[in-house]
Amino acid sequence: MLMTTKPMFDLAYKGGFGVGAFNVNNMEITQAIIEACADKKSPVILQISKGARKYANIKFLTKIIEACVEEYPDVPIAIHCDHGDTIELIKECIADGYTSVMLDGSHHEFDENVRLTAEAVKLAHEAGVVVEAELGQLGGIEEDVVGLSAEEYEKNLEKFLTDPEQAKEFVERTGLDSLAVAIGTSHGAYKFAKEPTLAFDRIEKIMETCPDVPLVMHGSSSVPQEYVQLVNKYGGAMPNAMGVPEDQIANAVRTYGVCKVNIDTDLRLAMTAKIREVFSTKPEEFDPRKYLGPAREEIVTMVKRKLDVLNSAGKAGEVVKHWEKLGTPLPVYYTS
């Protein structure tokens, strides 16, 4: 069932769970995510980055997601623009049928971030679409999102974390629907120089200044070491790859107001690890189905594991009932 993130976050905030926001780039990744969510009866957010729009052609991705909605009508699905950096892109995403968009102005000065976010909120809300925005700065690199190096980020962490008082002003001046916060996570597979500890005290303060505002964690892949080891075993070179420990992610969603957790790197790792394994152990294989199939199956396994970490398994029915109770219509794209 297609919907915005509102019914998901309404229940997640007080229900001690987070909704997995998984980036989609092709058919196999999308199929695997939805299969896992259907099996676990979990709501899901399918994220499309600017890079994915370029790679796959948004028309193809949209049709793949529409097929997921038809095939799995009991799975609550939101389509989200990940790291939209211009008003023009936000307009395109709304026109393309997204139910949620992100305006990422975190690299701008505060007032400019406010201005851009408020403009995006006005446009999106008129179309029935919800808006996520970001305050603070993350480290790492992922596609078009370039943050700080692991060393620089960890050395000056306090400087880049989201300021609770500034967050309050940001929420009030923009009217956003969810807030992406910098609490010590980082983009990509090489997030940290050493195992991190998330700034849970900072989350608590943000919850106090921004009560009932759903919080979002970017850069939250855990970079499972079994996949890193497989990649390296079969010809890859990923030294010192490290992510956010899963127990800290679980704590963030079960104890604090984190309602959305972004996961992209782990999908890529699972897929690449299995493809490398097939290429190395079966060098005669040239049928794409014989290596993309195992890759898809591995993503299913990995996503199921993430849904348990996020405590969202079994929550799909509650979300659907809440959506129907709200009587919230789909965005204008679907009703005009």
User: In three state form, how does the secondary structure of 269-289 look?
Assistant: HHHHHHHHHHHHHCCCCCCHH
Q: Which amino acid is at 282?
A: K
pLDDT of 222? 86
How far is the first Cα of the chain from the last one, in angstroms, to the nearest whole number? 18
Q: In whole angstroms, how large is the CA radius of gyration of the chain?
A: 19
Please check the confidence at residue 336 and state whether its pLDDT lies above 50. no
Angle between helical axes of 58-71 and 27-40 (0-180°, round to 10)? 20
pLDDT at 79 over 50: yes
Which of 154 and 141 is assigned the larger pLDDT?
154
Residue 163 · residue 205 · CB < 8 Å = no
Inter-residue contact 101 to 48 (CB < 8 Å): no
The domains of the chain, with CATH numbers, are: 6-335 (3.20.20.70)
Query: Which comes out higher in pLDDT, residue 141 or 262?
Result: 262
Look at 19 and 138; give whichever has higher pLDDT: 19
Asked if the model's pLDDT at residue 307 lies above 60, the reply is yes
What is 25-76 written as a DSSP string?
A: -SHHHHHHHHHHHHHHT--EEEEEEHHHHHHHTHHHHHHHHHHHHHH-TTS-
Tokens 């997640």 found at: 12
Instruction: Name the active-site residue from 10, 39, 82, 85.
Output: 82
Report the DSSP pairing between strands 186-187 and 215-217: unpaired
Do the Cβ atoms of 260 and 177 come closer than 8 Å?
Answer: no
Contact assessment for residue 77 and residue 68, using Cβ atoms and an 8 Å cutoff: yes
Pick the more confident residue, 184 or 307: 307
Find tokens 């106090």 and name the residue.
208
**Average pLDDT over the chain, rounded to whole?**
90
Q: Is 82 a catalytic residue?
A: yes
pLDDT at residue 220 in the model: 81
What is the rounded CA–CA span in Å between residue 230 and residue 277? 7
Lookup: tokens for 6 = 């509102």
pLDDT tens digit sequence for 181-234:
988 876 554 555 566 778 899 999 999 999 999 999 988 888 999 999 999 999
Spatial neighbors of 305 by CB under 8 A, at least 6 apart, are none
pTM for the model:
0.92
- Name 151's Cβ contacts closer than 8 Å, sequence gap at least 6: 193
Give 217's strand partners.
Answer: 181, 261
Looking at per-residue pLDDT, the higher value among 137 and 100 belongs to 100
Residue 124, SS3 per DSSP: helix
Helix axes 110-126, 164-174, angle to 10 degrees: 40
Angle formed by the axes of helices 200-209 and 164-174, to 10°?
A: 40
Is the pLDDT assigned to residue 288 strictly greater than 60?
Answer: yes
User: Is the pLDDT at 147 greater than 90, yes or no?
Assistant: no
User: Residues 34-78: pLDDT tens digits?
Assistant: 999 999 999 999 999 999 999 999 999 999 999 999 999 999 999
Sheet holding 139-142, edge to edge: 145-146, 139-142, 186-187
Whole-angstrom distance, CA of residue 125 vs CA of residue 103: 13
Whether 87 has a pLDDT exceeding 80, the answer reads yes
Amino acid 142: pLDDT: 45
